[in-house]
């Protein structure tokens, strides 16, 4: 099953500082939810719910768990970078930005695009993981 994905579209060029911060809060919420989803999926991979006669089952499960660990590291990096970015927004907001708002809009655009692509990739991975679990689970 292939998931339909939307191409990235930007609506960031005229955002206020408050709108930029609002986006950051939403990014953090989505990252937290993604981390919860992958913790659940890893728990499923660690459980004894699979047909034992599946060829290379242990190896496949281990590869999937390793990929989840990699995704979790990326989630932490995105979360940390978002915290830092929000701190910078707060500090520069107090100084009324001066000429730095175009810099933050450009930076925001890059972060928004990177997260869009990351969420698209993780949605594809989750779909593949769901299909694997569905096809190998004990009936």
The pLDDT tens digits for 54-97 are: 999 999 999 999 999 999 999 999 999 999 999 888 887 666 55
Between 103 and 116, the more confident residue is: 116
Q: What is the pTM of this model?
A: 0.86
The pLDDT tens digits for 16-66 are: 888 888 999 999 999 999 999 999 999 999 999 999 899 999 999 999 999
Q: Which residues contact 30 (CB under 8 A, 6 or more apart)?
A: 115, 119
User: What are the structural domain ranges in the chain?
Assistant: 62-139
Helices (DSSP H) in 7-100: which residue ranges? Answer: 17-46, 57-94
Q: Could you tell me if 25 and 59 are in contact, meaning their C-beta atoms sit under 8 angstroms apart?
A: no
Neighbours of 103 (CB within 10 A): 12
């Amino acid at each position: 099953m292939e998931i339909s994905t939307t191409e990235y579209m930007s609506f960031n060029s005229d955002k206020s500082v408050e709108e930029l911060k609002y986006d950051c809060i939403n990014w953090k919420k989505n990252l937290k939810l993604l981390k919860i989803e992958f913790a659940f999926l890893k728990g499923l991979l660690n459980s004894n719910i699979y047909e034992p006669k599946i060829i290379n089952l242990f190896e496949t499960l281990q590869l999937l768990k390793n990929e989840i660990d990699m995704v979790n590291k990326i989630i932490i990096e995105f979360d940390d970078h978002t915290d830092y970015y929000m701190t910078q927004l707060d500090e520069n907001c107090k100084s009324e930005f001066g000429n730095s708002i175009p810099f933050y809009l450009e930076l925001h655009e890059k972060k928004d695009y990177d997260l869009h692509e990351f969420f698209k990739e993780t949605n594809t991975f989750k779909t593949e993981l769901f299909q694997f679990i569905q096809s190998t689970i004990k009936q």
